[in-house]
Structure 1
Amino acid sequence: MPGHHPARSRRPTERKGDVRERAILDTCEALLAQKGHDAITVGDIAEGAGITRGALYFYFGSKQEVVTALVARTVEHLWERSRATAKTDEPRQAIAAAMQRTVELWNEHGPVMRTAIDLSLTVPEIGELWSHTADLFTEAITAVLERAGVQAGTEPDQASAMARALCWMIERTFYHASQEAREKLQKASSTCEHIWLTSAGLTA
């Protein structure tokens, strides 16, 4: 790609030991919480990271590339949590643990996750990351529903279809709750947990 710097194509896992890149991403996350995506400039990120704009461009070609790398770093945490959910054997415990981890993630990375959702339709790289994240969570929810006795399959009353609907319901519910106050996240979690338990036939 013309003008594409090799450093920009590195995966986030290759940058973990690089203090400067980590500082850029940490600064971007802090600025998302303080100012929101639209108000942030490359200069803001560089200043917060303690480097010049030129130094920042050695690592990232634009603000969008910084945000995309930050989303990639954040969804790695999401993927780890989804795998943990899928491995918990007892359905009630799995659901409770999954919802508590969801609250923790939105508390820790809410601004990044809202930004990922907002940009997922217009930035292909972010859209792909977020879609893959949703697929992993859907798989984890499907596994929990099937362990609870819901029939496997893609029909409306079967585990896979129910899991996809639950996944997107949880995403949208937490998105709105996180815009209001952190206290709302716990209430959102309790509601989503109740719906998930009801879907799994575990409320009796």
Structure 2
Amino acid sequence: MKSFDALTTSDIAERAGFSRASMYFYFSSKQEALVALFARTVEALREKSRAAADDPAAPRDAIATAVARTRDRWREHGLIMRVALDQSSNIPEIGTLWTETAEIFIDAITAILVRAGVASHDGPDGARALAHAVCWMIERTFYRASAISPEALDQAAETCRVVWSRVAGIEA
């Protein structure tokens, strides 16, 4: 797994679609470039999460779609996401971006759980509390699997789909 220190400006520039020289025209540091690239990456996750919350499909299908879309983002941007998450305590802008993105995903998970019949109350077995647990389980599972291989990521996505479905009371 590549760390922030091992991540080069060329790595960031390549993923952002810039030449290395152009990157320094727009950004004064590797941290600043990482924040901008991560912001662009999580915006796609936010859009997909909002779509999941509004998905009129049956909960089983909405869960499958949301997990597949999230897997696809991790497949495409796993390196940047892992490095950014590792730096989230050192770079407050990244921590804020990720927390805000997670809240949108938690809202989507909550909406799907409620549609599946999970009670919407404030207790530990309420839809929102369960959505928090599912969201962070997906994040950690995809984080780890995306560092291993595309096949590991596919398997992780299927496991997350099964867990989320079971939390929703849907036979997986």
Render the CA deviation track for 1:125-173: whole Å, top value 9, x for unaligned.
0000000011000000000000001111221100000000000000000
- Counterpart position of 1:133: 101
CA distance in 2, matches of 1:112, 1:51: 16
Point out the structure with max Rg over C-alpha. 1
Structure 1 segments unaligned to the other structure (5+ residues)? 1-32
TM-score norm. by structure 2 comes to 0.89
TM-score norm. by structure 1 comes to 0.76
CA distance in 2, matches of 1:142, 1:45: 34
**Is residue 10–residue 19 contact of structure 2 (8 Å, CA) maintained in 1?**
no
- Counterpart position of 1:177: 145
Find 1:60's aligned residue among 2, 27, 46: 27
Find 1:79's aligned residue among 42, 46, 55: 46
- Counterpart position of 2:36: 69
1:123 maps to 2:87:
no
Question: C-alpha root-mean-square deviation of aligned residues, in Å?
Answer: 2.2
CA distance in 1, matches of 2:135, 2:40: 21
Q: Which amino acid aligns with 2:91?
A: V
Higher relative contact order (CA 8 A, sep 6+): 2
CA distance in 2, matches of 1:91, 1:201: 10
Find 1:147's aligned residue among 95, 115, 121: 115
- What is the aligned residue count? 169
- Counterpart position of 1:8: none
